[in-house]
Amino acid sequence: MSIERAARLKRMTFAATSRCSCGAGLAYDDTCTAAPFKGPSYWDCSAILLGDAIPSGQPGAVTHTDRLPFAFWEIKSEHQPSARGATTRPAEENN
Ligand SMILES: [Zn+2]
């Protein structure tokens, strides 16, 4: 795994159990900023955030769940105590 990828994974927060329709966990990057908010404002497919997803229109591309704004979607993150350690973080990349 590249240093950039490892750093990015470390910055990302994954959902405890919620996944994109492609099977990858939902996540957000703690350092991504989208005006007018400071910090991330929506959940997105972790495969898209990591650059693993095949762009739509290309062979093998799959459908992904739309971005889910925090304001409208209550999705439990891996950091919630009530998640009890559950995470959709890729197993081989757990720290
Ligand atoms: Zn996806």
pLDDT tens across 26-69, in order?
A: 999 887 665 555 678 899 999 999 999 998 889 999 999 999 99
Those residues with Cβ within 8 angstroms of residue 40's Cβ, 6 or more apart along the chain or in another chain? 28, 29, 30, 32, 33, 34, 70
SS3 86: coil
Question: How many angstroms separate the CA atoms of 56 and 35, rounded?
Answer: 26
Whether pLDDT at 95 is above 60 = no
pLDDT more than 90, % of the chain: 65
CA of 43 to the centre of ligand 1 (A): 11
Report yes or no: 89 and 15 within 8 Å, Cβ to Cβ. no
CA of 25 to the centre of ligand 1 (A): 8
CA of 89 to the centre of ligand 1 (A): 13
SS3 33: coil
Residues near ion ligand 1 (CB < 5 Å) are: 20, 22, 24, 45, 47, 64
CA of 76 to the centre of ligand 1 (A): 17
Predicted structure pTM score: 0.85
Return the pLDDT at 94.
Answer: 47
Return the pLDDT at 41.
Answer: 86
Segment (H or E) for 11: helix 3-11
